[in-house]
Amino acid sequence: MSDTRRRVKVYTLNEDRQWDDRGTGHVSSTFVERLKGISLLVRAESDGSLLLESKISPNTAYQKQQDTLIVWSEADNYDLALSFQEKAGCDEIWEKICQVQGKDPAVDITQDPIDESEEERFEEIPETSHLVELPPCELGRLEEIADLVTSVLSSPIRREKLALALMSEGYIKKLLGLFRVCEDLDNREGLHHLYEIVRGVLFLNKAALFEVMFSDDCIMDVVGCLEYDPSLVQPKRHREFLTKTAKFKEVIPITDSELRQKIHQTYRVQYIQDIILPTPSVFEENFLSTLTSFIFFNKVEIVSMLQEDEKFLTEVFAQLTDEATDDSKRRELVNFVKEFCAFSQTLQPQNRDAFFKTLANLGILPALEIVMGMDDLQVRAAATDIFSYLVEFSPSMVREFVMQEPQQTDDDVLLINVVIKQMICDSDPELGGAVQLMGLLRTLIDPENMLASTNKTEKTEFLSFFYKYCMHVLTAPLLANTAHDKSSKDVQEGSTKINPVCPDNFQTAQLLALILELLTFCVEHHTYHIKTYIMNKDLLRRVLVLMNSKHTFLALCALRFMRRIIGLKDEYYNRYIIKGNLFEPVINALLDNGTRYNLLNSAIIELFEFIKVEDIKSLIAHIVDNFYKALESIEYVQTFKGLKGRYEQEKDRQSQRLNRYRRDARSLDEDEELWFNDDDDDDDGEAVEKRMEDDFSDSYGKYMEAKKGAANGANGANNGKAAVIPPASSAVTPNNSSASSVKTVALPATPVMKTALVGLVDYPDDEDEEEEDEEEEQSPRKRARLSS
């Protein structure tokens, strides 16, 4: 037995009555000890994992459809289907199922599904009756036929029997013949009965009946029957629409007649399901599941047939990218490709991979560059939909293409820049297209879907490319709308008026909000690249201009951008914020908001609460030093008092650290004392000064000994290797009248040994102070002064 005979796709029916592809594998039937019976097993062809393990139950109704499908229900809401690559494989498994259930393999359904409510009705049907008795197909019996068809819909058993009867006697074509007679005679009563009959036959949910009803010579008569709904005053003109209004456009002539027929059939059946048939009730919603499956598998077949026709697709893309192609023709081609991509969603994953790779090889991305830049709104919308399919399928494929472009084109026509410009220039007042494009851009710049396993440098290379060639296009509207901030700053100072550069136009404000959302995403995920860009462009200052916008949502977007930056707790960002005094527009917005308790108020307070809770010392000191007077009156939250408290605690802790540092040092040996530097904090406080005076007599002798032993020590400080004096006398001399008469003590030039501090208590801020000490050593040092 060849592998292809057993090759199957496994489908399950989801809650939306759509078939989900569960994978491709090879099916077998074998006895499973755990399940105590012959079971169907499907193992994935990719890794051998078990896709399906289903016991062939004696009570389950299995159906064979379209020669290569076997469908059954495992539970009330769990339908399964096996789609075979070859008819022979389907027949083989079907025979095994029938053998287990003791049925004739010639039937298309193994047995009638029976539930508890059916068991009582089962006795009503004579066991010897294999088929429902159909009335003769005559005009006078149409009412009787309609009553029969509608009466069996509530009974699964009778539905099955009626379906078999309709198939065995060629009844469908006879009924459709009566339809033509009734229409010629304008027999409205008969036409109304035929509507009920055809609708009921559709609700029998049988693929074998659909094959007959949707064939070329029957489907238009079926549509005609469905025009005569008794509830309508006038019949609908569905056939007129399908034959005259709906035009089948062959953008490139289709030579395969079977393919053309399949496309026509699928469109018409989809029209019947979506337009003609009324929305099914809860009771009826499962009646058309096979119709949905019929359409689904037709689409799979159409995509496969088109994809295999290399000449057809090659011609499509050749004309799409040809400059000589006129606009109307290109519009048709783009719409075809869009529908083609939409149909591809029915393919199983590996086939979908092959489909999009085929499109990529044919040049779908260069073609999109052309059509996305066209003036035609319909073309641009269709191109955007195609682009979304490609990005959803493989962001890496799109990134790889755009990174190759700068070698052969200029920035303006780069695909990503074309997408950004489409987002910026969206004419829709609600910016529906811009929102869609923004989502696609975010997917493209998201490092989470940049696969390191396939290309380790993709993240680095693409982000470098994006910030070099594209970021300036994305931020252009933002920078343009905040361009005059500096010139208007002097006029605005001290004023609470709205900054005139902020956009009053709602559409512009909404666009800036979208751009800020993307930039906020970049701050969170790109770290180095966006940090460099923000610093170079002074971007945060420009963004915070929007805190003055009359559109609160835009002010909130600007605040969210700053909040995300502060949330990183990066000292580079913190120093940038402090140096630029960038809390000022935020605090002005808080004060301008007054006593209104709204989202802006809460968001600003949350920003400061975060700084307090996370104890970001540099920002706390900056806020308290510069803005506390303006904020101390806000008492309905404890945030700002808390910031002041943190600030005071830090000052006290530093003071205590200095005192402990001095006391610990005094316990060292005399030799070790000579290693300590005299370049500690200058303002040690009164306690240290008093201690210096008390210990002066003990330490003076040591100073003098050190002085005698250092002939060249006077210049040690300037060389950055100043000797260290005992801590007891390292404090700055108090500012009193004797300060002017003190003498400078020169000490030996001895290298600083930082390892001598190991025994001391370590504080998180010691490292910062050591750096400050080193900076001070680059200039002439302040030497300790002693009173005479």
Of 442, 433, 616, 418, the C-alpha closest to 520 is: 442
Task: Phi first, then psi: give them for residue 705, nearest 5 degrees.
Answer: -65, -40
Q: What is the pLDDT of residue 180?
A: 93
Q: What CA–CA distance (Å, rounded) separates 200 from 470?
A: 59
**Structure tokens belonging to residue 785:** 């002064």
Tell me if 7-101 shares its fold with 284-474. no
User: What DSSP state is assigned to residue 665?
Assistant: H
Q: What is the pLDDT of residue 284?
A: 57
Q: What CA–CA distance (Å, rounded) separates 560 from 557?
A: 5
pLDDT in tens, 640-698: 999 999 999 988 888 888 777 655 544 444 444 444 444 444 444 444 444 444 444 44
3-state SS, residue 24: strand
Residue with the bigger pLDDT between 17 and 697: it is 17
Q: What is the pLDDT of residue 115?
A: 45
Q: What is the pLDDT of residue 268?
A: 93
Measure Cα distances from 317 to 236, 333, 337, 371, 399 in Å.
39, 8, 9, 12, 21
Q: How many CB atoms lie within 10 A of CB 553?
A: 13
| Cα end-to-end span (Å), the chain | 111
pLDDT in tens, 333-345: 999 999 989 888 8
Q: What is the pLDDT of residue 779?
A: 38
pLDDT band of 752, cuts 50, 70, 90: very low
Task: Phi first, then psi: give them for residue 171, nearest 5 degrees.
Answer: -70, -30
pLDDT in tens, 295-326: 888 888 888 888 888 788 888 888 888 888 88
pLDDT band of 624, cuts 50, 70, 90: very high
302 Cβ neighbours under 8 A, 6+ residues apart = 259, 262, 263, 266, 343
Q: What is the pLDDT of residue 763?
A: 44
Burial class (CB in 10 A: 0-12, 13-18, 19+), 511: buried
Average pLDDT score over the chain: 78
As a whole-number percent, the residues of the chain with pLDDT over 90 amount to 31
Q: What is the pLDDT of residue 239?
A: 92
Q: What is the pLDDT of residue 742?
A: 36
pLDDT in tens, 122-177: 444 343 345 578 888 888 899 999 999 988 887 788 888 888 888 877 889 999 99
Contact criterion met (CB below 8 Å) for 148 and 201: no
CA atoms within 13 A on the CB side of 232: 14
Tell me the average pLDDT across 711-718: 42
For the cut 80, the answer to whether the pLDDT of residue 769 exceeds it is no
Tell me the average pLDDT across 693-713: 44
For the cut 50, the answer to whether the pLDDT of residue 119 exceeds it is no
Instruction: Give Cα 179 to chain centroid, integer Å.
Output: 52
Is the CATH code 1.20.120 the one for domain 284-474?
no
For the cut 70, the answer to whether the pLDDT of residue 529 exceeds it is yes
pLDDT in tens, 225-259: 999 999 888 898 999 999 888 888 788 888 888 88
User: What DSSP state is assigned to residue 484?
Assistant: T
pLDDT in tens, 422-468: 899 888 888 888 999 999 999 999 988 886 655 557 788 889 999 99
For the cut 70, the answer to whether the pLDDT of residue 623 exceeds it is yes
Mean pLDDT lowest for which of 73-77, 114-118, 305-309, 777-781?
777-781
Is the CATH code 3.40.50.720 the one for domain 7-101?
no
For the cut 50, the answer to whether the pLDDT of residue 274 exceeds it is yes
Sorted by where each begins, the domain ranges of the chain are 7-101, 132-283, 284-474, 569-659
3-state SS, residue 232: coil
Of 696, 688, 687, the C-alpha closest to 787 is: 696
pLDDT in tens, 364-384: 988 888 888 787 788 888 999
Task: Phi first, then psi: give them for residue 234, nearest 5 degrees.
Answer: -120, 140
Instruction: Give Cα 191 to chain centroid, integer Å.
Output: 52
Residue with the bigger pLDDT between 292 and 746: it is 292
Tell me the average pLDDT across 521-535: 93
Question: Which H, E and C letters describe 751-769, residue by residue?
Answer: CCCHHHHCCCCCCCCHHHH
Measure Cα distances from 226 to 186, 284, 285, 315, 508 in Å.
15, 17, 18, 39, 50
User: What DSSP state is assigned to residue 29?
Assistant: E
Task: Phi first, then psi: give them for residue 717, nearest 5 degrees.
Answer: -65, -40
Q: What is the pLDDT of residue 585?
A: 94
Backbone Cα Rg of the chain: 41
Mean pLDDT lowest for which of 204-218, 470-484, 600-614, 761-775?
761-775
